[in-house]
Structure 1
Amino acid sequence: MSGGRPRTAIGTYGTVSVRCHGRSYIATTRFRDLDGRLRSVAACAASRSAAQARLKARLASRSGYGSGGVLSLASPFGDLVELWLADLDLQELSEGTKKNYRQDLRRQILPAFRHYSLGEVTTGRAEWFLKSEARVSYSRAKHSRTMLNLLFAFALRPDAIPRNPVEGTSPLEKPKNVPHALTLTQIAAIRQAASSWRTGPDVKGPKPDGQVRDILEVLLGTALRIGEALALRPCDVLDLPHGMELQVRGTVVLRTGHGAVRQDHPKTEHSVRRIAVPEFAAEVLRARLLLRNQTDPPRTIFSNKSGDPLSPYSVRRTFREFLLLAGLEDTGITLRWYRRTGATVIARGASTDAAALFLGHGSTAITEGHYIEPDRTVDHRPAFLLERTLRRDASDNALLRAPYSTTEEQALAELDGPEDIGS
């Protein structure tokens, strides 16, 4: 049916009429409530303008005024951000995740949309923004897209916007990710540099305590994330007759005002695991445990002079000095290459599923969680493969020597995926 008066939108009111009633004036209108029904609202005052002002004040305080909530299409983008941040504080997320969200908002999102209202953030403007982010990096564009989706999904709940403008934007084109593992030559060079760093007779200041050198051996033998390695405590190390095992139950994170602190859970739920340790890494951990004060069990194995966990930043800084000493500063090697090396050895020697379980990824979690009774035994095959390939003496280069095939690149790229961002 065409024609007729347009329907009053929910949270709004129709024409205001004012009539004289004795010495007073009564202003009336009809307001459409959240249940969709029109109801009469009135206000009385001594003058026409005062009656209108009092009526509008009553309407503004009425439940549902402004399209059902505190946000509307005319609301500034900054209002949405403030409300979303308040909601973020109530969510059960790690402090590290919340910190990353806040940083992304402050650095990327707010500068681009601060001066828009919600209704002015169209699909075209979101598309332009994401393409400009992609020119910087794929990772940055992906994070920005995630943040915008979270914000506008939040704005949909009170009906502040009719649709999420990000939904119609173009898919982000992910660049090809070729995994890189360390060669035995590179491993030997870094080991030599780590052993000789700041040990000469002309070196001033305190001698290095060897912690970063030993951390590298643990990373090489366990493929742990750096935060997981730094969070290891004596109670997490089980030296059994058939070999050493580690219980991965925490990670080290950086918190504003506190520095490096141990978090009682690792990066993801799949990261809680128990793994076997090759002998070359087990020897390092045994030596470190002998140096510790046994009356302080909660203290992490790798710690500073104050007894706090080592910072991942300080470990990375020292590692870069090792690379410089080894002549590998321009190779792009980072601590993540140790994790990729472990993934490569185990995937080629056993399977990608075995590598995923060892690294703490969730690729087999659905099958195990819903269809198979959990297997509590620890698989010692990965430790055997890592020991045979990466030990200091008589190492076997067979699993690392061959170039990556296309299938291997794809499989290892999956292992080196989103769960390792920031590790």
Structure 2
Amino acid sequence: MTRGRPRTPIGTFGDVLLVDLGGRYRASARYRDLDGRLRRVTAVDTSQRRARARLQERLVDRAGYGSGGVLSAASPFGDLCELWLSDLELRDISEGTKQYYRDDLRLHVRPAFDAYMLGEITTGRVEWFLRRRAALSYSRAKHTRTLLNQMFAFALRHDAIARNPVEGRSQLSRPKREIQAMTLEQVQAIRVAAANWRAGAAVSGPKPDGKVRDICEVLLGTSMRPGEVLALRPCDVVETRQGMVIHVRGTVVRRQGMADFRQDQPKTDASNRSIAVPEFAAQVLRRRIGSMGPADQQTTIFHNRNGGVITLHNLRRTFREFLRDANLADSGITPRWYRRTGATVLARGLGIETAAAFLGHTSTAVTEGHYVAPELDVDMSPAGVLERTLRPIDPDDTLLAGSPGDDEVEALDAMDGTDGAGG
């Protein structure tokens, strides 16, 4: 059996032929199109170099360029990284999520697989890598698994591999841990510390304006993410016959090399929601909004002296001082714990599904710009449970007492995982 000339892969071209036309030059090559047929592509210019460059431009712009040779089982893993990152830029997800993927790929995934060709990355190698990641952090390993699954699915769609090596690996084992919710005693201790922070006569400098203290009350009463509370505006707050309702329509975010700013959409589509506010948090918001003018409807309720957003860094820094004054500096508590505390109260008082909807982890949440009659469509029962359990005066600690069951730990931990590191 005679061996013929190897067939040109689809999306690639053969040798470039240069012809002197007398003062001008023609460059040409045979290109194998998506239908499998070879066609000659030509370009003419005043020099050989310019003619070759123009031909290259035409080949790159041709439909299907690279589909048969640039990404294949023999391609380096780095080639997949570059193509996937380009595709990532086109996806309709938040910039923060994109940066999280970029960092994970650059710092962990690419160094582990950069020496392999795509066809050499097996399920066993993925398993070994993810086991090492899980030994350091379950949540990081889970995120890395999602990243690898997306990347190899991308390679599969481009016919570079026959199967996704992430499929078929063993499940990550979730470590058992206590739910990070505050006790009622810790909540009250932080309240006292916040009220008395820098309030003594011996304290020099300007007195605090109480913004971070009030932010903590709203965090406690709404279970919102810290960035969502910092992004609240008067136009997002509605008073109804049954009580106050908040429309969550944005969040404050931080980007590398940029100052914190208000983003016009929250973390996910499900985070666009309307929630009822317990009275102790509603009183804080009414007082803050009452000090603002009619022209401030688009200004954040919690803003700095210049009218800009309060940064997440400044919130956390002041909160750490509250913890120090409350003798809780070594407790590990962060502003995020308010969200988990509210989730725990609602899960025990009304069930996991109600807690998930309130926290913005459901696809049935109210979408941005969708106005409905709040007193008819917003579930007011969570506000009642939060008010009874977490109000400053005579709170009922029944729902925060005792140890969580296994089902509760798993469900709340899963909800918390969807918030990411910055939730």
Aligned runs of 1:162-177 on 2, under 5 Å? Answer: 162-177=162-177
Do the aligned partners of 2:94 and 2:267 also contact (CA within 8 Å) in 1? no
Other-structure match for 1:317 = 317
Shift of residue 259 of structure 1? 1.8
SS state at 1:90 partner: coil
The answer as to whether partners of 1:11 and 1:34 remain within 8 angstroms in 2 is no
Cα distance between partner residues in 2 of 1:197 and 1:327: 13
Q: Distance in 1 between matches of 2:65 and 2:380?
A: 64
AA of the residue aligned to 2:107: R
**Does the 8 A contact of 1:181 with 1:337 survive in 2?**
yes
Gaps of 5+ in 1: 17-29, 42-53, 366-373
Corresponding residue SS for 1:330? coil
2: CA distance between counterparts of 1:402 and 1:168? 39
Equivalent residue number for residue 139 of structure 1? 139
Matches of 2:201 and 2:80, distance apart in 1: 61
The equivalent of 2:90 in structure 1 is 90
Kept in 2: contact 1:228–1:250 (CA 8 A): yes
State the one-letter code of the partner of 1:242. Answer: Q
- The separation in 2 between residues aligned to 1:106 and 1:229, in whole angstroms, is 32
**Whole-Å separation in 1 of the counterparts to 2:281 and 2:223:** 11
Equivalent residue letter for 1:182:
M
C-alpha displacement of 1:205? 3.2
2:275 and 2:31 map into 1 onto residues whose CA distance is: 65
CA contact (8 A) 1:347 1:355 kept: yes
Deviates more, 1:300-309 or 1:115-124: 115-124
Cα distance, 1:237–1:145 mapped onto 2, change above 3 Å:
same
In structure 1, distance between residues paired with 2:115 and 2:376: 55
Match of 1:296 in 2: 296
The residue type equivalent to 2:303 in the other structure is S
Provide Cα deviations, 1:383-411, integer angstroms capped at 9, x if missing partner.
11211111111212222223323343344
Letter in 1 for 2:9: G
Residues 93-112 of structure 1 correspond to what in structure 2 (within 5 A)?
93-112=93-112
Name the residue aligned to 1:245: 245
Rounded to whole Å, the distance in 1 between the matches of 2:89 and 2:196 is 47
Give per-residue Cα distances to partners, 1:204-256, cap 9 Å, x unaligned: 33322211110110011111111111110011112334322211111111123
2:344 and 2:142 map into 1 onto residues whose CA distance is 26
- Partner SS, residue 247 of structure 1: strand
Alpha-carbon separation, structure 1, partners of 2:321 and 2:69: 56
Counterpart-to-counterpart distance in 1, 2:346 and 2:122: 48
Partner of 2:155: 155
Q: Partner amino acid for 1:11?
A: P
Q: Which amino acid aligns with 2:224?
A: L
Structure 2 vs 1, CA of residues 204 and 240 (structure 1 numbering), >3 Å: closer, same or farther?
same
- Conserved 8 A contact 2:234-2:296: no
Amino acid at match of 2:176: K
Deviation at 1:70, TM superposition (A): 2.3
Q: 1:143 to 1:410 in 2, by over 3 A?
A: closer
Distance 1:160 1:294, change over 3 A: same
1:300: Cα distance to partner? 0.4
Q: Which residue of 2 aligns with 1:11?
A: 9
Tell me the C-alpha RMSD between the 2 structures.
3.4
The range that moved more, 277-286 or 199-208, is 199-208
Measured after TM superposition, the shift of residue 8 of structure 1 is: 5.8
Query: For 1:363 and 1:32, how far apart are their aligned partners in 2?
Result: 45
TM-score, normalization by structure 2: 0.80
Corresponding residue of 2:340 = 340
Q: Which residue of 2 aligns with 1:418?
A: 418
* Cross-structure match for 1:25: none
2:155 and 2:385 map into 1 onto residues whose CA distance is 51
Instruction: Among all aligned residue pairs of Structure 1 and Structure 2, give the percentage whose two residues are the same amino acid.
Output: 58
- In the alignment, which residue of structure 2 is the partner of 1:382? 382
The structural deviation recorded for 1:40 is 10
Residue 7 of structure 1 and its aligned partner are, at CA, apart by: 11
Q: Which residues of 2 match residues 146-225 of structure 1 at below 5 A? A: 146-225=146-225
SS of 2:275's equivalent? strand
Q: Which letter does structure 1 place at the counterpart of 2:332?
A: G
Change (3 A) 1:382 1:67: closer
**Pair 1:7–1:147, CA change in 2 (3 A):** farther
Matching residue's letter, 2:82: E
Q: Distance in 2 between matches of 1:375 and 1:245?
A: 9
How far apart are the structure 2 equivalents of 1:154 and 1:397?
50
C-alpha distance in structure 2 between counterparts of 1:401 and 1:122, whole Å? 48
Equivalent positions of 1:358-377 (< 5 A) are: 358-362=358-362, 376-377=376-377
Partners of 1:379 and 1:422 in 2: CA distance: 27
Could you say which residue in structure 1 is the equivalent of 2:76? Answer: 76
TM-score, normalised by the number of residues in structure 1: 0.80
Q: Is the 8 A contact 1:230 1:300 kept in 2?
A: yes
**Does residue 326 of the first structure (1) align with residue 326 of the second (2)?**
yes
> Residue 255 of structure 1: SS of its match in structure 2?
coil
Q: In structure 2, what residue type is equivalent to 1:343?
A: A
Within 5 Å, give how 1:34-53 maps onto structure 2.
34-35=34-35
Structure number with greater Rg is 1
Pairs aligned (count): 386
The 3-state SS of whatever aligns with 1:258 is coil
CA 204–79 in structure 1, closer or farther in 2 if over 3 Å, else same: farther
**CA contact 1:250–1:263 (8 Å) conserved in 2:** yes
| Paired position in structure 1 for 2:22 | none
Q: After alignment, is 137-146 or 411-420 more displaced?
A: 411-420
Contact 1:9 1:32 in 2 (8 A): no
